[in-house]
Structures are given as C-alpha cells and as structure tokens.
C-alpha cells in the first residue's frame, strides 16, 4: 500500500475515456457520455471481486459509513458499539446520523474485543461496528454470534482492508453491510471515494437514493425522478471512479507483493525474542498492508520510537498510542464534544463522560504496539534494510535497559 505507488497507463486510459466525453458526473447525460459509465463499471467490478450482490460508490469512506448507518435505520438515540482504535471517521459518521458512539475495548487483534462488546450492550444498542484495522480482520465469528443473539445489526467498517477476507469470504460481505474507503493512501485508491456493499437489495436501493439527494433513479429522465426520502450529495465523480477501475484490476498484484514483503519483514523482526505480533483471526485473509508488532512495555516501545526517530528511520512506523487520528487517548475534541453545531443532549452527555484513561485494556495493548506500513515498491534489499534498522533499534534499547537494571 498505497495503490498510487503503481499509477500508470491504466489509470490515464480510464481518465482519458471520461475526459473525451467531458461528462464527469456519474448520473445523467446519457447521450453525450457515449456509453462511458466508469462508476457503474467499478461497482460491478467490486461485486465481482468481493462476491457481493450490490455496491454503491460514494464520495469517501466517511460518507459510505454515514450512508450505511442511515440506510440501516440507525439514528437518534441509538447506540453503536465501536472500537477505541480506529480512524476518526468511524465516530464522525455515527454522530452525523444522531446516534451515540459507544467506545469499547480492543484486544490483541487490534479490533473489537468480543467480551467487551457483550459488556457494552444496553437496551439502546442497535449496531455493532467492528473496524478491520490495518488490513486485517476482527473476530467475526464471535461478533456475528453476539449480534444474532441480541438482534443487533453488524456493520463492517472495512475501510482499511479492501481485499482482505475471513475464512474465504471478503471482509465487508459478512455483516448486514460493509464499507470501504478508496482515499489516496488506501491499497486501492480513487484519490477520494468509498463504497457500501451488501447482499440486501432493499438496503442497496436506499443507499443508491440517499447518496444522490433521494433520487429514486427509476427512470431514464433524471429530472423526472421522484424522491421517496431525503438524501444528500455523497456521489463519486466519474474521474475518481475511473482511477479506481484501473486500480482494482491491479489488486491481486498488490496483495501478492504485500504478502511477500510482509513475510520477509516479519521473519527479520522475529529474530528478536522480545518482539511479538498482532493476533490475526484468519492469517490467510490478511491483506498484509501493515506488520503490527508489540514490545514488552510502554517504556521500551517509547524508547524504540525515539531511537528510530534519532536514526531517521521512523517514517512508515506508526506508534498509534500517540497518534491523534487513530486512538481514543488523543481524541480531545471528541471528549469535549467540540462541534461547530449543537449535538443532541444524549450525544453530548455520552462524549463528555469519556475519560482519557477509561480504556485500560486498550492502553495496555496500544502503548506497546507499532505498525510498519508495507510499501509496494520496496526491493528485497530495502525490506532487509528496513527490518535490520528496526531490529538494531530494539536491541540497542533492550541492551541499554539491561545495563540500567544491573
């Protein structure tokens, strides 16, 4: 990752197809577009690649989540269980539909802890939203059972894991709906874009209308469409879809490269006994976009981060515990309910009740975790060099700690 590392003639060809017609909008203008429908083609390619019935492209992963939540009927007063480790878009989308994000502990999969989910369920819980972080999956067997037992919606936020699978099924196809992001740094990129996927035709039709101001798209004349419900403008453009159409054709190549490089890097880091690795419920289904690894303590992890920084080797290695985009500890704006418009009272009370140290299990995991992003263009020599620099930094810190203890 990311897919932009492999931009080439395929992307230019699809973009030029659109530019030759001049029709950048995904709907209407049937004559002038001369049969060029990149969005429709990409939706069909997504369905074919993932084995799902329906796909609705959107303008971003965030709008995909908002669309899915809305189409699933989740709104004011409903509680949505989500993890403490995710991208901020996950809670933004929940708040945008008037619902209440219920932040919940993760485990060593770096995703929702099933035990914590069970404990978080209340009479107001309507949805469980696992986030398949850093290219790999949550424990979907356990989470699916919990949802079935409690009559809850399972919405997969698979925005970071396009191309990953769980026991032979593509991530995003296991819950009631799944969402993806195709932003600039994703494995498959449109530049900006997202998608909702589902096997439920009625749900798909709601997503289709909601992302285009409520248009029913039932006829051939856009101006004559009726509006069964209020929607918003979450449309993708034909230019963005064109890029994604080229990229999805390269997905298998991306995944093969990532797997090979991931395995090589992991083998190097495995030479240090003190380094552990993320537990992945289905290792065969990992998309291998990141190698996530653990050190014995927060103190050691911080020292390794400092050492890598001093050696100018920290780039591409993420210490999420101090990252203000991805972990609850740094979401001051969420805890302070710092919005430009008024939240409803239930939302505000839920957010201001969040304590910065309220997730000890997650802190214990994230404070020891680093994730290394896997590049698509790394040579074997570069992979070896990156791995050896990490190992050298870890060993230096461990040796220093041992000397201090003595």
The predicted pLDDT at position 404 comes to: 83
Which pLDDT band, with edges at 50, 70 and 90, does 330 fall under?
Answer: very high
Residue 375 gets which letter from DSSP? Answer: P
pLDDT at 239 over 90: yes
Dist CA 390 CA 201 (whole Å): 48
Which pLDDT band, with edges at 50, 70 and 90, does 190 fall under?
Answer: very high
The predicted pLDDT at position 295 comes to: 98
Burial per residue of 301-310, b for 16 or more beta-carbon CB atoms within 10 angstroms, e otherwise: bbbbbebbee
Which pLDDT band, with edges at 50, 70 and 90, does 337 fall under?
Answer: very high
Find, among 104, 125, 122, 123, the residue nearest to 114 by Cα.
Answer: 104
pLDDT at 406 over 80: no
Which tens digits make up the pLDDT trace of 16-50?
A: 999 999 999 999 999 999 999 999 999 999 999 99
Dist CA 365 CA 344 (whole Å): 33
pLDDT at 294 over 90: yes
Q: List beta partners, residue 169.
A: 166
The predicted pLDDT at position 220 comes to: 82
**Mean pLDDT value of segment 104-118:** 98
Dist CA 259 CA 318 (whole Å): 19
Which tens digits make up the pLDDT trace of 162-180?
A: 999 999 999 999 999 999 9
Find, among 274, 33, 163, the residue nearest to 41 by Cα.
Answer: 33
Tokens 């017609």 -> residue: 21
Output the DSSP codes for 211-265: TBTT----SS-GGG---SS---B-PPBHHHHHHHHHHHTTHHHHHHHHHHHHHHH
Take residue 180 and report the two structure tokens written for it.
């993806």
pLDDT at 183 over 80: yes
The predicted pLDDT at position 219 comes to: 84
Residue 379 gets which letter from DSSP? Answer: -
Mean pLDDT over the full length of the chain: 97
Q: List beta partners, residue 165.
A: 170
Burial class (CB in 10 A: 0-12, 13-18, 19+), 285: buried
Find, among 135, 157, 140, the residue nearest to 287 by Cα.
Answer: 135
Tokens 């609705």 -> residue: 56
The residue annotated as part of the active site, out of 38, 186, 206, 386, is 186
| Count helices and strands in the chain by DSSP H and E runs | 14, 13
pLDDT at 102 over 80: yes
Which pLDDT band, with edges at 50, 70 and 90, does 359 fall under?
Answer: very high
The predicted pLDDT at position 234 comes to: 98
Which pLDDT band, with edges at 50, 70 and 90, does 403 fall under?
Answer: confident
CA distances from 69 to 66, 205, 339 (A): 5, 14, 20
Q: Is 126 a catalytic residue?
A: no
State the distance between the two ends of the chain, measured CA to CA, in whole angstroms.
Answer: 43
Q: Which helix (H) or strand (E) is 166 found in, with range?
A: strand 165-166
Catalogue all structural domains in the chain, each as residue range(s) with its CATH number: 3-250 (3.40.640.10), 252-405 (3.90.1150.10)
pLDDT at 9 over 80: yes
The predicted pLDDT at position 257 comes to: 98
CA distances from 229 to 212, 235, 277 (A): 11, 16, 47
Which pLDDT band, with edges at 50, 70 and 90, does 221 fall under?
Answer: confident
Find, among 143, 161, 160, the residue nearest to 152 by Cα.
Answer: 143
Dist CA 237 CA 25 (whole Å): 5
The predicted pLDDT at position 252 comes to: 98
**Per the confidence metrics, is the pTM higher than 0.95?**
yes
Residue 281 gets which letter from DSSP? Answer: T
Which tens digits make up the pLDDT trace of 61-92?
A: 999 999 999 999 999 999 999 999 999 999 99
The predicted pLDDT at position 187 comes to: 97
The predicted pLDDT at position 199 comes to: 98
The beta-carbon contacts of 226-230 under 8 Å, at least 24 apart in sequence, are none
Percentage of residues in the chain having pLDDT higher than 70:
100
Burial per residue of 362-400, b for 16 or more beta-carbon CB atoms within 10 angstroms, e otherwise: bbebbbbbbbbbbbbebeeeebeebbebbbebbeebbee
């Amino acid at each position: 990752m990311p897919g932009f590392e492999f931009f080439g003639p395929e992307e230019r060809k699809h973009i030029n197809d659109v530019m030759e017609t001049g029709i950048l909008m995904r709907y209407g203008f049937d004559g002038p577009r001369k049969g060029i429908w990149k969005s429709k083609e990409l939706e069909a390619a997504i369905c074919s690649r993932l084995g799902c019935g329906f796909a609705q492209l959107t303008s971003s992963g965030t709008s995909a989540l908002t669309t899915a939540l809305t189409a699933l009927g989740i709104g004011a007063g409903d509680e949505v269980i989500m993890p403490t480790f995710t991208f901020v878009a996950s809670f933004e989308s929940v708040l945008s539909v008037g619902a209440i994000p219920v932040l919940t502990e993760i485990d060593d999969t770096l995703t929702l802890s099933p035990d914590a989910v069970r404990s978080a369920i209340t009479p107001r819980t309507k949805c469980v939203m696992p986030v398949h972080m850093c290219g790999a999956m949550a424990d979907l067997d356990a989470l699916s059972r919990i949802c079935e037992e409690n009559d809850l919606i399972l919405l997969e936020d698979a925005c970071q894991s396009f191309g990953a699978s769980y026991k032979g099924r593509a991530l995003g196809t296991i819950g009631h709906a799944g969402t993806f992001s195709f932003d600039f740094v994703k494995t498959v990129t449109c530049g900006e874009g997202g998608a909702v996927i589902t096997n439920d035709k009625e749900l798909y039709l709601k997503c289709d209308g909601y992302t285009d101001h409520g248009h029913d798209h039932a006829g051939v004349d856009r101006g004559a469409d009726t509006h069964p419900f209020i929607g918003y403008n979450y449309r993708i453009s034909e230019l963005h879809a064109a890029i994604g159409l080229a990229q999805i054709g390269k997905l298998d190549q991306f995944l093969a490269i990532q797997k090979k490089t991931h395995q090589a890097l992991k083998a190097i880091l495995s030479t240090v006994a003190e380094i552990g690795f993320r537990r992945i419920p289905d290792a065969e289904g990992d998309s291998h976009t990141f190698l996530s690894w653990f050190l014995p303590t927060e103190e050691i992890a911080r020292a390794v981060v400092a050492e890598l920084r001093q050696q100018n080797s920290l780039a591409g290695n993420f210490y999420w515990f101090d990252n203000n985009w991805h972990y609850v500890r740094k979401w001051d704006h969420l805890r302070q309910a710092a919005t430009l418009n008024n939240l409803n009272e239930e939302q505000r009370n839920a957010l201001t009740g969040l304590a910065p140290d309220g997730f000890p299990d997650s802190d214990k995991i994230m404070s020891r975790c680093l994730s290394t992003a896997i590049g698509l263009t790394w040579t074997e020599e570069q992979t070896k060099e990156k791995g050896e620099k990490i190992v050298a930094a870890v060993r230096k810190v461990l040796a220093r700690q041992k000397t201090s203890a003595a």
